[in-house]
Structure 1
Amino acid sequence: MFRSVARAALATTTAAALTAALPVPGSASTAPPADERKRILDSMGSKGNRVPVAALPTCNHFTVGQYVRFPSVGSPGPIDCKLEYGNYNNWGVVALQQWLYHCNGAPQVKVDGDYGKVTRDVITWIQAVKGIKADGIYGPDTRAVLSWAKFNGNTFIGCLPPA
C-alpha cells in the first residue's frame, strides 16, 4: 500500500515540477532563468549563502522583487534570512508556502503562514533531493534550489525555476 501511494506522490510531484519550469505566456522576461534569478538577487542586495544560516535573522515579512515575493526581514527588507519549524503567523512563511505550493510540486502545503510539520517535511525532502543539508530550515541555500512563484498583484502568473 505504502509503495503505491509513494509512487503516486512521486509521479504527481515530478509532473508538477516539470510543468513548473514551463514558460508563462506573456511573461515579461525572456532572459534565461539563471540570469534573471541572479539579476533579481543582486538588485535585492542578497549575499547568497556566504552567511551561516544559524547567524541569519528570522524572516518576518516578504519583499517583492520583479514579481517574486521573497521571505524577508521587514518589508521591504533584507532577503537573507531563515525560516524554521515553529515560525507562525508569519508573512515570510506565506511567501515560502506559495513557492512550495505553486512551483515546487507540493500541493499538500497549506498557505497559512505557519511553518508546521508539513512545510518542514517538504523543505527537508526538497533539500535531500537537491543534495543540500536536509535540516528543514529555509535559508539562502534552500532559496537557491527552489522554484520561485511570480505574482502580478495577487494573481499567480508563473514560476522561475532554479538555475
Structure 2
Amino acid sequence: NGVLQVSQMTGCEHHNLQCTIVPTIAGLADLDFVHTICTIINFLYRVQVPTFTPLSIRAMEESLQEFHSFKGAILMAGAWRGKSKEISHFEIPKFKLLQSFSCSVQNSGSLIPYTTGVSECLLITHCKDLFTCTNHQRSSFAQQIMLLLDHEESIQRFNLYSLL
C-alpha cells in the first residue's frame, strides 16, 4: 500500500516529499552523499519543465555533470542497491539514458508528452468521470472508455468543422 500511495502522488507532492527527505538525511549522511542526491533531484526537476531555453538545457547538463562527479559518494555509503545486494557500479541502462536527455530536448522539445504522467493525469480527468457513463463492467471498461473518448473527439472535431 505504501508504494502504491507514492506512485499515485502528484509532482508537487513528490517535490514536498523530496524537500523532507534531503534535510532528514543531511544529519545522517556524508555531505558529498547529500550533495549527490540534491544534484540528481535538481536534474530530474529541470528535465520536467514544459519548455526549454539554451540556458535551461545548459543548467540541466551541469546538474547531471555535477551528479556524475559526486556519485561515488553513493557507492561509498553503500546506498546503491539492487534487489538483493549492493551494486558497485552505475552501468545501468536507465542511468545511461540520462546522458541523452539534453540532445533529445534539443531535437524534440519537452519530454513531457513521452512520459506516463500525462496519460495518468488524463486517465484521472477523463476516464474516472466517464466511468459513470459505462455499464460498470470492469472486464470491458477499457473498450467502453475508448469508445466514449472516440465519441468525444468526434464531437470536438464536428464542432471545429462547423465553425469553418
- Shorter-chain TM-score range: under 0.3
Structure with bigger strand share is 1
Structure number with higher relative contact order (C-alpha < 8 Å, ≥ 6 residues apart): 1
Give the TM-score of the pair, scaled to structure 1. Answer: 0.25
The structure number with the bigger radius of gyration is 2
Give the TM-score of the pair, scaled to structure 2. Answer: 0.25
Structure with bigger helix share is 2
